[in-house]
Amino acid sequence: MLHADHPLTDANTLGLPCVAERYAAPATLDALREALALARRHDWPLTVLGGGSNLILPARLPGLVLQPAMAQWWLEERDDGIRVHAEAAVEWHALVMALAKRGLWGAENLALIPGHCGAAPIQNIGAYGVELGDLLEAVHLVYLDDGREAVLSASDCAFGYRDSVFKGALSGRMVITRLVLRVSTEPRPRLGYGDLAGRLDPAPTALEVAEAVCAIRREKLPDPATLGNAGSFFKNPLVDGEHARRLLAEHPDLPHFPQPDGRVKLAAGWLIDRCGLKGWRRGHFGVHDRQALVLVHFGGGSTEELLGFAGEVAARVRERFGVVLEREPRRAG
């Protein structure tokens, strides 16, 4: 069923005011294909919406906004291990906790990442040393132009840091309908990141790891339910080795992570903090006072104001360190 002039202000975690010209939330694959066919017939531009936690919405979204509502998940035992099938609208965090409670390892470091399963491959969600690509086996999708179904393997997804084929060649061309993930009953804690190991026994359960991740994240990140935000607003920048050496000579405490290709990943939050911007507020937006990588919306602001504010933060970092920050949340419309 189509809804006209549907409000999306509560459907994006930044809390940006937005109205969709048309909106549908198909609960089956057939309903999804029907909605796609209708959009094709009328030549409506299409926007796919998940949990709205990584999106910058405009004041009005023309055409049709599709928010898949298929929300089943199930386990499959195969000869070579256990698979999880999760439809697009399954809440990612709820799935992670349900798996960890069953003693299934694989997704526990990705606890408390907001959003729906359907969006998780788009930027290859990652946290605490693990990325979705580490456990993803396949992605089921439907192409927008002809309603054709396809299954992509993990290698087809071209996963990188906050990147995938869904942001490249397949951007705006498909709806992800289901994920297939590999999980295991074999304990395999990955505690090498941050202060995770210090908070846990040497042989924790999957649930203990997930709960420790949640506890750390709650200490650092604002809850979108109380303060509008989209998580990290900027990606951690990659610079060439020479640039990194120059910066490190001047700032030996700059957190840095050498990459296999010789480039070096820098901590964007540190760079913003060192510009004196942590806790900085202008108008309706600010830099979070505990995590400088997160921009927050105090309410009453607009998309243009947010983009102007973010541009100012990025300009200060470029002036001080010569490093270009790239935005992480995607713009819709």
Of residues 81 and 194, the one with the C-beta less far from ligand FAD: 194
Residues 35, 288: Cα–Cα separation, whole Å: 39
Of residues 125 and 244, the one with the C-beta less far from ligand FAD: 125
Residues 72, 85: Cα–Cα separation, whole Å: 8
Of residues 169 and 203, the one with the C-beta less far from ligand FAD: 169
Of residues 81 and 147, the one with the C-beta less far from ligand FAD: 147
Q: With the CA atoms of 262, 134, 266 and 172 taken in that order, what torsion angle do they form, in degrees rounded to the nearest 10?
A: 100
Least distance in Å: CB of 74 to ligand FAD?
18
CB contact set of 11 (below 8 Å; sequence gap of 6+): 18, 49, 52, 67
Least distance in Å: CB of 41 to ligand FAD?
21
CA quadruple 148, 54, 272, 216: dihedral sign: negative
Least distance in Å: CB of 102 to ligand FAD?
22
Residue 282 bears catalytic tag: no
Residues 180, 74: Cα–Cα separation, whole Å: 10
3-state secondary structure of 3: strand
Catalytic residue among 22, 131, 232, 316: 232
Residues 13, 53: Cα–Cα separation, whole Å: 5
Of residues 118 and 321, the one with the C-beta less far from ligand FAD: 118
Catalytic residue among 22, 33, 162, 316: 162
Least distance in Å: CB of 246 to ligand FAD?
29
**Strands of the 136-143 sheet, one edge to the other:** 73-78, 81-87, 174-183, 136-143, 149-153
Least distance in Å: CB of 68 to ligand FAD?
5
Of residues 112 and 264, the one with the C-beta less far from ligand FAD: 112
Least distance in Å: CB of 78 to ligand FAD?
25
Of residues 227 and 248, the one with the C-beta less far from ligand FAD: 227
Query: Which spans of this chain sit near ligand FAD (rule: CB under 6 A)?
Result: 13, 48-55, 68, 88, 113-116, 118-120, 122-123, 125-127, 175-176, 221, 224, 229-231, 330
Q: What are the helix (H) ranges across the chain?
A: 29-42, 92-101, 206-220, 241-250, 268-274, 303-321
Catalytic residue among 137, 208, 305, 328: 328
Q: Structure tokens of 143?
A: 């192409």
Residue 232 bears catalytic tag: yes
Residue 328 bears catalytic tag: yes
Residue 264 sits at φ, ψ, to 5 deg, of -130, 130
Least distance in Å: CB of 135 to ligand FAD?
14
DSSP state, 222? -
Burial class (CB within 10 angstroms; exposed 0-12, middle 13-18, buried 19+) of 327 = middle
Provide the β-strand partners of residue 75: 84
Residues 211, 207: Cα–Cα separation, whole Å: 6
* Residues marked as catalytic: 162, 232, 328
